[in-house]
Amino acid sequence: MIAPQPDGPIIVIDDDEAMRRACQAALRRAGYEVETYADGESGLKRMAEVGAGLLVVDLKMPGMGGMEVINRIKKINPDIVAIVITGFATVSTAVEAMKAGAYDFIPKPFTAEELRVIIARGMERRRLAQEAKKLRQEKEAQARKFITFVSHQLKAPLGAVKQYLDVLCHDAMDSIPDQYQPWMQRSCAKINSMLEVIDDWLTISKVEGGHLATQRVPVRWQDLIESVKETCATMARDGEVRVTAELPADLPPVIGDATALRMALSNLVVNAVKYNHPGGEVRITAGTDAETVAVSVADTGGGVAAEDVDHIFEEFYRSKDERHVSKGGTGMGLPICKRIVEELGGRIALDNRPGEGATFTVELPRAEREPAS
């Protein structure tokens, strides 16, 4: 009796028919569910369908070799345990294969018992890896739940304190002695940045749950850009930064979620204004090709510091760059942008010009039709 394996069948790929039969017989006798394929293409196709947990593959095959099969399946199923069959049992071939991601090797010729021992080890390895992954996911889910809980707990009282302070600054500043007035303003600013952090934590925990960009409808960048320009107007005026948008009149809509995309764009424009200088400029431009629409936000700030370039899209990453530390921020703006854009099947890229500025470009799939108005 062969019970179906929760991870799908063991896939054996070998161009030698006698070898396929022998493997199948030996593994079936040991109680495994097995499927065999004569070439890499058909084996890969099947693995993509069933999401196999364990692969046994011959290294030397006409057409696609065993290494290429492993490389390709690892791209779509990185957790698969791959065991290679090596025709000539040289240590170097086996080492090469294991360096490239194979878990173990079995030299030809081998007995049914030898095969079963290696498969049993591979299955055990698979089980442990799955358990570790599950534990890691549970831990991450716990951490997110905790962040969400703490954020909600902090948000209400902090919001109330902020409103007290704002009202005091608005209505009662005159009755506060001059020397203490800056303290009031500093307190407001600190609380503002705490609230920003909390909102970003809540946003990222929503994004993690995949709840942020929930819609897939045609969205017009023109509308989003107008609305973001409006919300950033005060900040831009205070920083003496000019925000301009030059869009082709016939810019097609993209497929996305208007609320999430507005948030992503707003993060980019706010950064571009914040890390700029008085008299500086933020230019929003757009372009399109047959399949995508790209929107770019270019600033005339100092650009991203060399040591930060590889990290700016990482969650909780904060630059040590002096110019940035003084501006506050949560370290979550760009990771949130990236997640939103990627959730919608798009890409975000940085074109960094040290000393001159930075350009962030968001590329999203074009929509077939105009949004319903």
Partner 1 sequence: MTARRTVLIIDDDGDYRASTRSLLEREGYTVVEADSGRKGLEAARSKSPDLIVLDIMMESPVEGYSVVQALKFHGEYDDVREIPVVMVSSIQQDPADLFGMAGDVAMITPEAYFTKPLEINSFLQCVRRMLPQDD
Residues that bind partner 1 (CB under 8 A): 155-157, 159-164, 166-167, 170-171, 195, 199, 259
In the bound complex, what is the minimum distance in angstroms from residue 68's beta carbon to partner 1?
48
| Residue 231 · residue 257 · CB < 8 Å | no
Rounded to whole angstroms, how far apart are CA atoms 324 and 321? 5
Could you tell me the smallest distance in angstroms from the CB atom of residue 203 to partner 1?
9
CB of 91 or CB of 172, closer to partner 1: 172
C-beta of 95 vs 167, nearer to partner 1:
167
CA proximity to 319, closest of 329, 256, 199 = 329
In angstroms, what is the minimal distance from the CB of 263 to partner 1?
10
CA angle 224, 226, 227 (to 5 degrees): 65
Q: Cβ closer to partner 1: 92 or 373?
A: 373
Smallest gap from residue 232 Cβ to partner 1 (A): 15
Q: How far is the CB of 216 from partner 1 (least distance, A)?
A: 16
Output 162 or 242, the one with its CB closest to partner 1.
162
CA dist 289 → 26, 246, 247, 294, 359 (Å): 55, 17, 14, 9, 19
Looking at the Cβ atoms of 41 and 199, the one nearer to partner 1 is: 199
Smallest gap, in angstroms, from Cβ of residue 353 to partner 1? 34
Given the complex with partner 1, which of 210 and 248 has the nearer CB atom? 210
**Contact between 97 and 88 (Cβ < 8 Å):** no
